[in-house]
Structure 1
Amino acid sequence: MSDSRPTIYFIRHGETDWNLEGRLQGQKDIPLNDLGRVQAEEAGRRLMGLVPHVEDLAYVASPMTRTRETMALLRTAMGLDPESYRLDERLVELTFGDWEGLTWKEVRKKEPQLAALRERDKWNYAPPGGESYAMLTARVRPILDDLTRDTVVVAHGGVARAFLAATCGVSTRDAASIDIWQGKVLVIQRRSYRWV
Structure 2
Amino acid sequence: MKLLILRHAPALNHGRLAGRTDVEADCSDQAAFARMRARIGDPDQVITSPALRCRQTARMLGFPAPHNDERLWEQDYGAWEGLPFESLPDLGPLPVSELADYRPETGESFHDMAARAHEAIRDLTCDSLLIAHAGTVRAALALVVGPQALSFSVAPLSLTVLHRTGDLWSVEAVNVTAP
Query: TM-score when scaled to structure 1?
Result: 0.77
Percent identity of paired positions between Structure 1 and Structure 2: 28
More helix, by proportion? 1
**Correspondence list, 1:1-196, <5 A:** 6-18=1-13, 21=15, 23-35=16-28, 39-48=32-41, 54=42, 57-74=44-61, 76=62, 82-108=63-89, 115-116=90-91, 119-120=94-95, 121-166=98-143, 169-172=144-147, 174-190=148-164, 191-195=170-174, 196=176
- Aligned-residue RMSD, C-alpha: 2.1
Give the direction of change, closer, same or farther, for the CA distance of 1:179–1:160 in structure 2 (3 Å limit). same
> Structure 1 runs of 4+ off > 3 angstroms?
34-42, 117-120
- Count of residues in Structure 1 that have an aligned counterpart in Structure 2: 168
- How far is 1:139 from its partner? 0.9
More strand, by proportion? 2
Task: Give the Cα separation in 1 of the matches to 2:101 and 2:34.
Answer: 34
- How far is 1:150 from its partner? 0.3
Cα contact 1:11–1:43 (8 A) shared by 2: no
Cα contact 1:29–1:64 (8 A) shared by 2: yes
Cα contact 1:123–1:132 (8 A) shared by 2: yes
Equivalent residue for 2:167? none
Give the direction of change, closer, same or farther, for the CA distance of 1:107–1:37 in structure 2 (3 Å limit). farther
C-alpha distance after superposition, 1:75-134 (max 9, x if no partner)? x2xxxxx323211111111111111111342023xxxxxx42784532110100111110
Structure number with larger C-alpha Rg: 1
Contiguous gaps of at least 5 residues in structure 1:
1-5, 49-53, 77-81, 109-114
